[in-house]
Amino acid sequence: MKTVVGVAVVADNRVLAAYRPDPDGGWEFPGGKVEPGETDEQAAVRELREELDLEIKVGASLGPAVNISPEYQLHVYLATVVSGDPVLREHSELRWFAAPELDEAGWLVPDRPFVRELRGRL
Instruction: Give CA–CA dist 122/118, Å, rounded.
Output: 6
- Given a cut of 90, whether residue 12 has pLDDT beyond it is no
Helix-then-strand count for the chain, H and E: 2, 8
pTM of the model: 0.90
Length of the chain counted residue by residue: 122
Query: Please, are residues 97 and 72 in contact by the beta-carbon 8 Å criterion?
Result: no
65-83 residue pLDDT tens:
999 989 999 999 999 999 9
Q: What is the CATH number of the domain that holds 97?
A: 3.90.79.10
**Closest Cα to residue 118, out of 32, 2, 17, 3?**
17
Q: Is the pLDDT of residue 41 over 90?
A: yes
65: containing domain: 2-121
